[in-house]
Structure 1
Amino acid sequence: MSLTLQQWLSRLESLHPTEIELGLGRIEVVYQRLAISDRLPRVVTVGGTNGKGSTVTMIEAIALDNSLSVGAYTSPHLFCYNERVRVNGCVVEDCLLVEAFEKIEQVRGDISLTYFEFGTLAALLIFADAKLDLVLLEVGLGGRLDATNVVSSDISVVTSVDIDHTDWLGNDRSLIAVEKCGIARCGKPFVCGEPDIPESLLLTVEEIGCRGYFLGVDFQVESGNEQFTYTLTDEAKQEGVNVVTGAPELHPNNVACALQVTALLWPEISLEDSAHTASAVVVPGRQQWVDCKGSAKVLVDVGHNPHAARSLARLLSQFEGKYEVHCLIAMMHDKDIGGVIEVLMPCVDSWSVASLPGVSRAAKGQVILGELNNKGGTGRCFTSPADALDEIGLSENSLVVVFGSFFTASAALDYFRVSL
């Protein structure tokens, strides 16, 4: 009898001795056995410390607005695994994932694959069978040794470079940049949205021999008078196009990356229309405003590192003096909890911290509270985000920010009955 999707996912969690094992040796062999590569269309691979999923979703929206078929692979998910694999903007059904897992199982032999490697191959199989115009892949961790890098992409993107996943990538930003740049390919376009470009990244681009397009050098974003102006370049970097929009829902640097990719992929597509499409995209859990029916303003964000906290702090600065800002934070124990709190401290008037029941990687609420106290802050500790939200006063002059992880965002969106 065939396993259900949930049974497959439970099985995948126990197939490999470790949750994460970077390297392409195992997945490369199975990828070749599945004979996927010749059946894939053009591929864009998107890496970066933050902004990967948002950039993928904006390119996806632009493609769909222009009647192009597109597959998108992102991770992790908020509510259900199927969210990770979308075809033409729709999450795939259980049966497609199960069928893909069965095919992988038939050919992998004695090769042990991680949960993420299995999922990546399944997504690629589904995309290959769907006969698409474009495939978008979000890097899981790092880049050079990530499972998504088994595919030689036609365009690679690094949205940002900062410190995260230090157990795997270390805490040297220069070395992290080299790892992220490892998704680039010789002779192919490489789009970089990091404004503070590490020298190591520039050297790696030169060594690989890809064609670099850098934010602030080859393409631009400028703001003023509540408008954003994006300057995009053609493949030869000989002609620039300016487009103007209102304030985007997502980070303007990521919008700029999505638009520059669009300019390279489809020169015939209107960049003005694309800019308006990208600016209107909302990605669940990414600085997402939640409607609380006239009470407090609520903002939910999956961000989980100081770089993401700085982006959130810039957004919160717009509301200084207008609202009492209350932050509910729940994070993984292997993240820079103190660093995140330190960044947000000037923007927050009061704090709650919470544990995440059932999440083995989660930091206990008391641990987060200790970090908050170490930074000179005080707050209340709760057993779960839901318990905290029950106690937080949602008055009209308050702004409640829920931040710290995908699990935290998922719990908050579930609490407010927000579905995808």
Structure 2
Amino acid sequence: MAVAASAMPTAAWSLADWLAWQERLHPKTIELGLERVRSVAQRLGLLPAQATTLTIAGTNGKGSSATLAAAIYRAAGYRSGLYTSPHLRRYNERVAIDGEPASDADLCRAFLAIEQARAATPLTYFEFGTLAALWLFREAGVGVQVLEVGLGGRLDAVNIVDADAALITNIGLDHTDWLGPDRESIGFEKAGILRAGKPAVLVERHPPESVLAAAQKRDAPVLRLGRDFDYAPRGPGWRWVGPAGNLDGLPLPALPGAMQLQNASGVLALVDALQARLPVPQEALHAALGELRLSGRLQRVGQCLLDVGHNAEAAEVLAEHLRMLRPKGRVLLVLGMLSDKPVEAFGRLLQPLVSRAFLGGLPGPRGLDAPALETRLRGLGMETEACRDVPEALQRALALAEPEDLVVVTGSFITVAAALDVLHE
């Protein structure tokens, strides 16, 4: 039975108890702003951070970039902490130390410390998680902490920590209700993670002017793709070109997708910018690139290809990957999406490649049920079948799939998580 928001937390609570209570504690799921969470962090002694901090923002690719950065420093012998969100199957995925997810017991200890420090200060579910990650990183004595921004940047809880170096991946139209209607306004929000005198890596050849203006205003030295660093495929590997020279013969990232080279090039620029402070040998780059794994990112499980993409930019990457794969059979799509995502644009980009789509309803106030999703896809020329939920949609697709068909599961973290539950049974 779920605990009530009015319940008094105790050391005996399980992780499930804590998470259920946090979901009910704050009247809003999202409340952007730093004053509340910063005040609690200061009471906990988390600011200023003792570890070198890398903060990573962007619309797509920030999760894989953060994972690669942490892996590089771990391979180089540094104790590293990685904070990402959202999770796929277990909350513990959000906080990792030296590549190992935090245990239930460790997260519960962190939550109890935060609860004792916050007094009457209201915190959201995400803010609790951010403080827990910082608390555990400090307790473990990590030398490097890599923090993935949850939403935007300027007012995201992660931004209470002053980044020693920041990276911004691509900027697309997502979370427009919170961040603004266009790339310029969204770029302004994401550029809020930049700090004076600290390297700012921009992994776009043509970033929004708002990002460049923010970097100039903050006097943050910019490293920009196509101007200060670049990359190029070379035979079975690739070359990175940076300010101080080239790195040849790098292994391709083990994570599939053409965009992974671009993301990896930005991470290498970030590492290079901190080389005087945190030396990294080339062997560590090779090791981390060759081992890069991230569930739900163009992940192959048997006959299924799973991808958590949920905006137009992610759909373009997925479509490009499908064209590269050139499956011998049909592409059967299992799709579940949230109501505030660009459903029509997402479907339009995939429609030419898909033979049939099986639509699964998603739970919660933002989740689209299958009939509503089908209505929004109407007129795209896509043959659809509405199913009760994602497990039913996946089972229906697998039942109709021929041996050479490919079943693509996408549209949301929630969609992929539900599919993984089915596939792992």
Aligned mates of 2:338, 2:164 — CA distance in 1:
34
Is the 1:355–1:364 Cα contact (8 Å) retained in structure 2? yes
Counterpart of 1:312 in structure 2 is 318
The structural deviation recorded for 1:280 is 3.8
Counterpart of 1:33 in structure 2 is 43
Counterpart of 1:383 in structure 2 is 388
What SS class does the counterpart of residue 37 from structure 1 fall into? coil
The structural deviation recorded for 1:147 is 0.3
What SS class does the counterpart of residue 374 from structure 1 fall into? coil
Is the 1:58–1:278 Cα contact (8 Å) retained in structure 2? yes
Aligned mates of 1:390, 1:70 — CA distance in 2:
40
Counterpart of 1:174 in structure 2 is 184
Is the 2:75–2:284 Cα contact (8 Å) retained in structure 1? no
Is the 1:263–1:271 Cα contact (8 Å) retained in structure 2? no
Correspondent of 2:118 among 108, 127, 150? 108
Correspondent of 1:277 among 258, 282, 288? 288
Identity of aligned residues (%): 38
Aligned mates of 1:198, 1:38 — CA distance in 2:
30
Aligned mates of 2:50, 2:284 — CA distance in 1:
27
CA 1:275–1:314: 2 relative to 1, 3 Å: farther
Correspondent of 2:170 among 160, 184, 188? 160
Correspondent of 2:416 among 398, 401, 409? 409
User: What does 1:77-226 align with in structure 2 at a 5 Å threshold?
Assistant: 77-223=87-233, 225=235
Aligned mates of 2:347, 2:124 — CA distance in 1:
33
Aligned mates of 1:26, 1:273 — CA distance in 2:
39
Aligned mates of 2:117, 2:111 — CA distance in 1:
10
The structural deviation recorded for 1:157 is 0.8
What SS class does the counterpart of residue 378 from structure 2 fall into? helix
Aligned mates of 1:245, 1:400 — CA distance in 2:
32
Is the 1:328–1:400 Cα contact (8 Å) retained in structure 2? yes
| Greater CA drift, 220-229 or 59-68 | 220-229
Counterpart of 1:287 in structure 2 is 298
What SS class does the counterpart of residue 289 from structure 1 fall into? strand
Correspondent of 1:255 among 258, 261, 264? 264
Correspondent of 2:248 among 221, 243, 254? 243
Is the 2:329–2:402 Cα contact (8 Å) retained in structure 1? no
Aligned mates of 2:114, 2:311 — CA distance in 1:
34
Residue 334 (structure 2) pairs with residue 328 (structure 1): yes
The structural deviation recorded for 1:350 is 2.0
What SS class does the counterpart of residue 191 from structure 1 fall into? strand
Correspondent of 1:4 among 11, 14, 20? 14
Aligned mates of 1:275, 1:160 — CA distance in 2:
24
Aligned mates of 1:332, 1:156 — CA distance in 2:
29
| Greater CA drift, 267-276 or 92-101 | 267-276
Is the 1:382–1:388 Cα contact (8 Å) retained in structure 2? yes
Is the 1:320–1:347 Cα contact (8 Å) retained in structure 2? no
The structural deviation recorded for 1:273 is 4.7
Aligned mates of 1:241, 1:271 — CA distance in 2:
11
Aligned mates of 1:396, 1:82 — CA distance in 2:
36
Correspondent of 2:370 among 365, 376, 379? 365
Q: Deviations over 1:251-303 (max 9, x none)?
A: 2111111211222233542336504522541200111111x2xxx3x210011
Gaps in structure 2 of 5+ consecutive residues: 1-9
CA 1:265–1:410: 2 relative to 1, 3 Å: same
Residue 357 (structure 2) pairs with residue 346 (structure 1): no
CA 1:318–1:246: 2 relative to 1, 3 Å: farther
Aligned mates of 1:165, 1:364 — CA distance in 2:
20
AA matched with 1:366: P
Counterpart of 1:236 in structure 2 is none
AA matched with 1:373: R
The structural deviation recorded for 1:382 is 0.8
AA matched with 1:330: G
Is the 2:72–2:287 Cα contact (8 Å) retained in structure 1? no
Q: RMSD value over aligned CA atoms?
A: 1.7
What SS class does the counterpart of residue 182 from structure 1 fall into? helix
Is the 1:327–1:401 Cα contact (8 Å) retained in structure 2? yes
Aligned mates of 1:306, 1:407 — CA distance in 2:
17
TM-score calculated relative to the size of structure 2: 0.91
Gaps in structure 1 of 5+ consecutive residues: 234-238
Aligned mates of 1:217, 1:140 — CA distance in 2:
28
Is the 1:258–1:278 Cα contact (8 Å) retained in structure 2? no
Aligned mates of 1:85, 1:326 — CA distance in 2:
34
Aligned length: 407
AA matched with 2:267: A
TM-score calculated relative to the size of structure 1: 0.93
